[in-house]
């Protein structure tokens, strides 16, 4: 994780260095830029250069279609998926996918030609893995895994970070307490020390409780008779765990619509009471990475920048596919750098 810590901090500094004092901007876009670059570098193992630039451009285009409803219609009605040339919606999608595949396969081939056991990116770890029969993953499997991690990990983390920045600035006392905690670590804290900060952890936990970005977990199919509480379920029943409703049980979380990080300092919640990353053996595999990223990005942004919400109106959640996203992307105004201009990151290039 330490290697990823340096990367996350450097990328956060690079992206936020583009902010202009007085600028009114949507935090979500900056957080998307950070989480996207973190995945391309930490998971795909890409380095700056033409392949990174091209893959970045093509993936952004495929993940953020200009007319999202068109993509949904094509997914729902397979008969509409006709390749009628490069200008037809499905034809355009297929060509883009082919270009992305070529770049990913080129990356895999390069790794095979120049193996380097010291690499820590997820692609390298997956390429080193062997199944029970001693076989490595095929190129197709590697491509599929990379794309799954990108799709599952990019928007979720960016949305959670945007909610966190919203709540932290909506309640100035939360920001003050966080800064006091961060400043106590001194000028060059270790990313692991940031990860262990209790109040920062409580703020992230409460952010993921109040509007969990994944409103529900993935579907579960009952295989043998099952009793949960007073309910009995027969085999074949489809269950969809509601994360949102669990997180708003008033018996567990009094005044559940209020942002109160202290709840997580006062007591511990069981995996059946608090489940922003789902649960059981299909729980989110990116949980540790996502929490590490959230804490380092927040620590870097807060210790370097003074910002305010652009207006005092409460930001409401809107459904964006399966995610609970902040309406408008959380608009904020950059007021300036923090006076002491402390950098939380010992390793970042700009603070060196």
**Which 210-269 residues touch ligand HEM, going by CB under 6 A?**
213-214, 217-218
**For residue 149, with 0-12 CB atoms within 10 Å meaning exposed, 13-18 middle and 19 or more buried, which class applies?**
buried
| Residue 123 found at the interface with ligand HEM (CB under 6 A) | no
Report the residue number, 278 or 329, with the smaller CB distance to ligand HEM.
278
Strands 331-337 and 305-309: antiparallel
Spatial contact of 83 and 94, defined as CB atoms under 8 Å apart: yes
Q: Which of 30, 157, 343, 348 binds ligand HEM (CB under 6 A)?
A: 157
Nearest distance in Å: CB 79, ligand HEM: 29
Strand order in the sheet with 24-26: 24-26, 331-337, 305-309
Spatial contact of 100 and 63, defined as CB atoms under 8 Å apart: no
Sign of the Cα pseudo-torsion (96, 146, 325, 22, in order): negative
| Residue 149 found at the interface with ligand HEM (CB under 6 A) | yes
**Stretch near ligand HEM under the rule CB under 6 A, chosen from 9-17, 70-78, 151-159, 166-174:** 151-159
| Residue 286 found at the interface with ligand HEM (CB under 6 A) | yes
For 313, residues 6+ apart whose C-beta sits below 8 A from its C-beta are: none
Tokens for 189, please give them.
């804290």
Report the residue number, 286 or 317, with the smaller CB distance to ligand HEM.
286
Q: For 15, phi and psi rounded to 5 degrees?
A: -70, -45
Q: Which of 152, 179, 252, 334 binds ligand HEM (CB under 6 A)?
A: 152
**Stretch near ligand HEM under the rule CB under 6 A, chosen from 66-74, 126-134, 195-203, 279-287:** 279-287
| Residue 283 found at the interface with ligand HEM (CB under 6 A) | yes
Q: Which of 5, 153, 261, 326 binds ligand HEM (CB under 6 A)?
A: 153
Report the residue number, 89 or 209, with the smaller CB distance to ligand HEM.
209
| Residue 288 found at the interface with ligand HEM (CB under 6 A) | no
DSSP 329: G
Tokens for 206, please give them.
């409460």
| Residue 282 found at the interface with ligand HEM (CB under 6 A) | yes
Question: By rule CB under 6 A, what count of residues binds ligand HEM?
Answer: 23
For 344, residues 6+ apart whose C-beta sits below 8 A from its C-beta are: 9, 182, 185, 189, 194, 296, 299, 300, 303, 304
Q: Which of 276, 317, 326, 329 binds ligand HEM (CB under 6 A)?
A: 276
Report the residue number, 89 or 323, with the smaller CB distance to ligand HEM.
323
| Residue 284 found at the interface with ligand HEM (CB under 6 A) | yes
Nearest distance in Å: CB 311, ligand HEM: 26
| Residue 156 found at the interface with ligand HEM (CB under 6 A) | yes
Report the residue number, 239 or 334, with the smaller CB distance to ligand HEM.
239
| Residue 5 found at the interface with ligand HEM (CB under 6 A) | no
| Residue 30 found at the interface with ligand HEM (CB under 6 A) | no
Which string of DSSP letters, residue by residue, matches 144-174? HHHHHHHHHHHHHHHHHHHHHHHHHHHSHHH
**Stretch near ligand HEM under the rule CB under 6 A, chosen from 57-65, 155-163, 244-252, 263-271:** 155-163
Beta strands in the chain (DSSP E): 24-26, 220-221, 226-228, 231-233, 238-239, 305-309, 317-320, 323-326, 331-337
| Residue 285 found at the interface with ligand HEM (CB under 6 A) | yes
Tokens for 289, please give them.
């990475």
- Please state, in angstroms and rounded to a whole number, the distance separating the CA atoms of residues 237 and 55: 41
**Stretch near ligand HEM under the rule CB under 6 A, chosen from 19-27, 194-202, 285-293, 311-319:** 285-293
- Please state, in angstroms and rounded to a whole number, the distance separating the CA atoms of residues 347 and 26: 27
Interface with ligand HEM (CB under 6 A):
43, 148-149, 152-153, 156-157, 160, 213-214, 217-218, 276-279, 282-286, 289-290
């Amino acid at each position: 994780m330490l290697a990823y810590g340096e990367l996350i901090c450097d990328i956060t500094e690079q992206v936020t260095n583009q902010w202009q004092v007085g600028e009114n901007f949507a935090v979500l876009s900056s957080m998307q830029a950070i989480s996207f670059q973190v995945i391309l570098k930490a998971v795909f193992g890409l380095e700056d250069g033409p392949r990174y630039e091209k893959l970045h451009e093509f993936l952004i285009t495929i993940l953020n279609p200009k007319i999202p409803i068109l993509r949904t219609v094509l997914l729902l009605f397979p008969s509409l998926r006709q390749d009628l040339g490069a200008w037809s919606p499905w034809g355009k999608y297929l060509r883009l996918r082919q270009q992305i595949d070529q770049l990913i396969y080129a990356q895999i081939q390069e790794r095979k030609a120049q193996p380097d056991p010291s690499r820590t990116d997820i692609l390298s770890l997956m390429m080193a893995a062997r199944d029970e029969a001693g076989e490595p993953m095929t190129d197709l499997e590697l491509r599929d895994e990379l794309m799954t991690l990108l799709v599952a990990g990019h928007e979720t983390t960016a949305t959670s970070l945007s909610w966190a920045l919203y709540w932290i600035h909506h309640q100035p006392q939360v920001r003050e307490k966080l800064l006091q905690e961060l400043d106590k670590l001194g000028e060059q804290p270790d990313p692991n020390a940031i990860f262990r900060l209790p109040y920062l952890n409580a703020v992230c936990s409460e952010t993921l409780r109040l509007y969990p970005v994944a409103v529900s977990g993935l579907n579960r199919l009952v295989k043998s008779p099952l009793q949960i509480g007073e309910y009995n379920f027969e085999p074949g029943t489809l269950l969809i765990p509601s994360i949102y409703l669990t997180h708003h049980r008033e018996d567990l979380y009094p005044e559940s619509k209020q942002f109160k990080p202290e709840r997580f300092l006062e007591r511990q919640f069981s995996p059946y009471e608090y489940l922003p990353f789902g649960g059981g053996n299909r729980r989110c595999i990116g949980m540790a990475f996502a929490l590490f990223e959230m804490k380092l990005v927040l620590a870097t942004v807060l210790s370097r920048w003074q910002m305010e919400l652009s207006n005092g109106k409460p930001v409401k959640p809107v459904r964006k596919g399966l995610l609970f996203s902040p309406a408008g992307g959380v608009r904020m105004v950059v007021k300036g750098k923090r006076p002491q201009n402390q950098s939380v990151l010992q390793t970042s290039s700009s603070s060196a």
